[in-house]
Amino acid sequence: MDGLNDTQRYFVEEHIEDFRDGLIVRRELIRRVAIVVGSAATAVTLLAACDLSPRSTATTSPTAAAATASPTQGLVAQPFATPPPAATTDGITVRENDPRIGVSRPEIKGTDGVSLMAYVAKPNVSGRVPGVMVIHENRGQTEHIRDVVRRAATAGFVAVNIDLTARQGGGEKLGDAVTGAIGNLPLQQKLADHTAALIYLKANTSGAVGAVGFCFGGGEVWNLLAAGADLKAAVPYYGPQPSNYQDIGSKAKGATLAVYAEQDTRITSTGPQMEEQLKKAGVPNQLLVFPGVNHAFHNDTGARYAPEAAQRAWVATIDWFRKYLA
């Protein structure tokens, strides 16, 4: 993995795990890794040094410090939109014409003047309410991510997502090439784009802003905390640990709920280190590990979707934001 940056390494390891878990075949593994590293030859050389054996289905126990969600609780109706009871094919659970919300695509620009393809949903209520940044996974802005933005709006927040690959046309235009584009994004550019979204939210909300991100986006939430972003609350879902994670101990400002999956051992095993840094920062924090589920369990368009865990995690997320963005 020498020569890869944090994001590229994370993507390659993610693809290897998909292969080891039987979700993709070897040819597809090579194709996906080649997109990240630049060529099939480089991918083959890199993979030759990796463990590609099938993974055991056994799970590890959550860390003692982490709260463990009950595996027996069923779906519970909520007054706001939550992940669906079964996987979807189109990623839509809250439609744009839902009477609870309004949807727009405001012109949020990066420091270079490029439109960041912002997607915003806000509740149809009077007065100013808190804001939430929704940070996408490794596919850029998808219909699923736009749906998460709309779900957050039904819970009373102004929510926004920007596509970090907007300069390359956006995730939906890039297709499978999106992981290569994301993997080559400089950290400072990503942070600047997140800051543009943060500035928009501060100007169009009560001023209290939080961030939630999934997979790659969870890692971006950690990056924001390590950079000292002005967030009052943060919820990274199974986010990869950044190489400068120790900066969180001196710079993090937001109350942080870290969501993990028990079977996602590569990511979940870093939880205790992240918790240590959050405690050093002196911010309210909680690690929540969901048993019996794997990476990306919240994405209702993915192969690892787990409805009960997804709903409980989302309800915990909304409760966290309501507590710390009030």
Tokens 């839509």 correspond to what residue?
92
User: Per-residue pLDDT tens for 153-205?
Assistant: 999 999 999 999 999 999 999 999 999 999 999 999 999 999 999 999 999 99
Residue 61's pLDDT is 39
Half-sphere CA count of 142, side-chain side, radius 13 A? 21
Phi, psi of 50 (to 5 degrees): -110, 155
Q: What are the residue ranges in the chain where pLDDT is below 70?
A: 57-76
Residue 266's pLDDT is 95
Q: How is residue 190 written in tokens?
A: 């990503």
DSSP type of residue 127: S
Tokens 């439609």 correspond to what residue?
95
Residue 74's pLDDT is 59
Superfamily designation of domain 59-324: Alpha/Beta hydrolase fold, catalytic domain (3.40.50.1820)
Q: How is residue 65 written in tokens?
A: 């410090």
> Which distant-in-sequence residues (6+ apart) come within 8 Å of 214 by Cβ?
135, 136, 137, 148, 237, 238, 296, 298, 299
Residue 70's pLDDT is 52
Considering the chain, tell me which residue range(s) the CATH 3.40.50.1820 domain(s) occupy. Answer: 59-324
Largest CA distance in the chain: 59
By DSSP bridging, strand 158-161 and strand 233-237 are unpaired
CA angle 1, 181, 304 (to 5 degrees): 75
